[in-house]
Amino acid sequence: MKIAYCTDSICYAGGIQRVTIAKANKLALKNEVWIIVTDNKDKPVFPLSTKVHLVNCDINYFEDDWKSRFYILKGIIYKRKQHKKRLKEILNQIQPDIVISTGTSEKNFLPYLSVSSHPVFIREIHSNKNYRSLHAQSVFDKLLAILGDFIDYRIHLKKYDRTVVLTKEDKVVHWGKNTEVDVCVIPNPIISFGSKKASLINKKVIAVGRLAFPKNFSSLISAWKYVITRWRN
């Protein structure tokens, strides 16, 4: 079976990168697997099996992310047009049986591409469904978030053959009432990098992650008052 993952990049440290590489490595043991990216400027951040084919569309969305809204709009209009063309060419060369979207740049156009092998299109959602509104600051941003959610979830998502979420709660709470979308749950795999265990001698804890609402560091900090109480007793 031929499987193609489409994502933004696997050269930056992040959860999607880690999970995509882990699944691709495992699937490549018995399948032909490709990872097609848009923004790889360096080698993969985690070990990638030699059996996995890595293809870079060289679109470079990220180079404009920090600039003004004009450049972001340029990326959506001009670069996305390039992306569609190159991704369609690559997929028709590969002739995949399954095409999976894990990124952000291809998710709204991927199932519309004309691929002669007629693959099954799958969308993996690795974030909170309401991530747009959670990050919105101004009234304008909130309106854009509402519009973005409508276009994404009410129009484009229906074109996918299957949508994958990470937890049962995601499926029930966010997608339970949406009968137009075929949703299933596939949790992230547990990835082990060694057999060493912490000695638990030093009473220090480190949490690593983005300082963003979905990571919920405030609850983590609050929870540790109970841990401290237990240690002291």
| Dihedral of the alpha carbons of 206, 189, 17, 88, in degrees to the nearest 10 | -160
pLDDT at residue 89 is higher than 90: yes
Instruction: Sort 36 into a burial class: Cβ within 10 Å, 0-12 / 13-18 / 19+.
Output: buried
The domain ranges of the chain are 2-185
Say what the pLDDT of residue 198 is: 76
Confidence of residue 26 (pLDDT cuts 50, 70, 90): very high
Asked whether the CA dihedral 84, 86, 89, 95 is positive or negative, the reply is negative
pLDDT at residue 134 is higher than 80: no
Distances (CA, A) of 149 to 41, 132, 133: 30, 7, 9
Most confident of 61-70, 164-173, 192-201, 206-215: 164-173
Residue in this structure with the two tokens 């049986």, named with its chain if needed: 97
DSSP-assigned letter for residue 189 = P
Strand pairing report for 98-101 and 52-56: unpaired
Any idea which architecture 2-185 has in CATH? 3-Layer(aba) Sandwich (3.40)
In order, the DSSP letters of 68-128 are: -HHHHHHIIIIIHHHHHHHHHHHHHHH--SEEEE-SSSSTTTGGGS--TT-PEEEEE--S-
Strand pairing report for 98-101 and 183-185: unpaired
Say what the pLDDT of residue 193 is: 66
Residue 34: φ, ψ to 5°:
-120, 145
pLDDT at residue 65 is higher than 70: no
pLDDT at residue 185 is higher than 90: yes
Which of 114-118, 122-126, 157-161, 218-222 shows the lowest per-residue confidence on average (mean pLDDT)? Answer: 218-222
Strands across the sheet containing 183-185: 52-56, 32-37, 2-6, 98-101, 120-124, 162-165, 183-185
Q: What is the mean pLDDT of residues 114-141?
A: 88
Say what the pLDDT of residue 66 is: 66
Q: How many CB atoms lie within 10 A of CB 135?
A: 14
Confidence of residue 189 (pLDDT cuts 50, 70, 90): confident
Which of 22-31, 56-65, 81-90, 93-102 shows the lowest per-residue confidence on average (mean pLDDT)? Answer: 56-65
Under 8 Å between Cβ of 59 and 81: no
pTM: 0.84
Task: Give the contacts of 231 (CB within 8 A, at least 6 positions apart).
Answer: 203
3-state secondary structure of 228: helix
